[in-house]
Amino acid sequence: MERKITFILILLLFGAMILLIVNMPKSITGKAINQQIFTKAICNETNYCEDYLIECEGKTIKRLTPTGLSIQHDKDWEDSREPKELCDF
């Protein structure tokens, strides 16, 4: 009886391994490398800046999600960062 149970468990284990191997990705694609995810504060004309999670695919914005963090700078504050497109690396 124990041998039957052991045999059934071994068959189930091999079956599970075969299913895992069959469903694995066949190759690594460049798609993951082409995606960039980062945060950036985006400011308006009154120096109110909100932080966003930016997801880019190539040079295209895939998703722009507010993080909930923000800051109001003084009216004479100037952003010292170079202006550029969000997904321009």
Give the residue, 17 or 50, on which the prediction is more confident. Answer: 50
**pTM given for the model:** 0.57
Write down the pLDDT at residue 6: 86
Express each pLDDT in 44-88 by its tens digit.
999 999 999 999 988 888 999 999 999 999 989 988 888 778 887
Q: List own/partner pairs for 70-79 with CB under 8 A and 24 or more apart.
A: 71/41, 72/46, 72/47, 72/48, 73/43, 73/47, 73/48, 73/49, 74/47, 75/46, 75/47, 77/47, 79/43
